[in-house]
Structure 1
Amino acid sequence: MGEFWPVGDVLAYLAGSWRVERAVRDLANGAEGRFTGTTVFGPSDDGGLLHRESGTFVWQGVARPAERTLRFLPGPGAGTALVRFSDGRPFHDLDLTSGHWVADHPCSADLYRGEFTVRDEDHWESVWRVRGPAKDLVLSTAYARPT
């Protein structure tokens, strides 16, 4: 895996625009998909960042527009954040002070386990492994600052 890049202030690090490339694999049936788009972390009215992702998701050859919104609120320390869904429900904590973090999110009977890795000031990635009776997925996402 490579070296980690510690982040002193997670909200300052994430702020701005990122190019997004996500590979989605369904391990149960072998289906694959890909999302390409942009994520913008902009200021929100609660002192955190509003994460707006938009782009195109291609699943089994069919392209569709896709988007999602998350809230990144200040955590207990500068390198941390509390990630919430757009409606305010808790998603996961995030601590990038070491440049690496693993977070769990139970969803019904499935468990989402996210691994976040910061590579440098312009690149980070997340890998979500989803296991349970309803899903068996791997979602690998690379984020890069636009050049």
Structure 2
Amino acid sequence: MGEFWPVGDVLAYLGGSWRVERAVRDLAHDAAGRFTGTTVFGPLGTGELQHHESGTFVWQGVARPAERTLRFLPGPGPGTALVRFADGRPFHDLDLRSGRYVADHPCSADLYRGEFTVQGEHRWRTVWRVRGPAKDLVLTTDYLRVD
């Protein structure tokens, strides 16, 4: 994709509900799975957004409920945010002013590298490539606004 959609205010852009579809590929074991569900970015009252994702993860034919929670704090500029785990630990920075951003997150000896691309007012994507001694994964997530 050659065109990206710049975001002037990342927290305003993300606010609301999104339909989520994630493809998970384990390259080391030639396995694949899929997550489908929703992500809601709701205000926390401190200028932050709470990201709550819930749905179903299917892996090796077995479907399980899955969920996660993140916090998005205002960054140094309106097109930026600081992403934290639910317990407050840092995850990564986010800058969507150009409509595209690459973030790194070291996790033990593995490295998570995420590419965020905004494809329009109601659509964005993340692709996380995870490499290291414990993991060799590609996680591609498409978000489509539902409200």
- Under a length normalisation based on structure 1, what TM-score does the superposition of the two structures give? 0.98
Q: CA deviation at 1:46?
A: 2.9
Q: What root-mean-square deviation, in Å, do the aligned CA atoms of Structure 1 and Structure 2 show?
A: 0.8
1:47 is paired with a residue of what secondary structure? coil
In the aligned structure 1, how far is the partner of 2:37 from the partner of 2:97?
A: 27
Q: Following the alignment from structure 2 to structure 1, what is the Cα–Cα distance between the partners of residues 83 and 146?
A: 23
TM-aligned CA deviation for residue 146 of structure 1: 1.7
- Partner in structure 1 of residue 47 of structure 2: 47
Q: Deviations over 1:6-47 (max 9, x none)?
A: 000000000000000000000001110000000000001432
Q: Which amino acid aligns with 2:42?
A: G
Which residues of structure 1 form unaligned runs of 5+?
none
Which structure 2 residue ranges, 5 or more long, are not aligned?
none
Distance 2:18 2:104 in 1: 24
Describe the SS at the equivalent of 1:98. Answer: coil
Sequence identity (%): 82
In the alignment, what sits opposite 1:38? 38
Counterparts of 2:58 and 2:3, CA distance in 1 = 31
Q: Are 2:78 and 1:78 aligned?
A: yes
Q: Which residue of 1 aligns with 2:58?
A: 58
Greater than 3 Å deviation, 4+ residue runs: none
Q: Alignment partner of 1:104: what SS?
A: strand
Q: Which residues of 2 match residues 57-136 of structure 1 at below 5 A?
A: 57-136=57-136
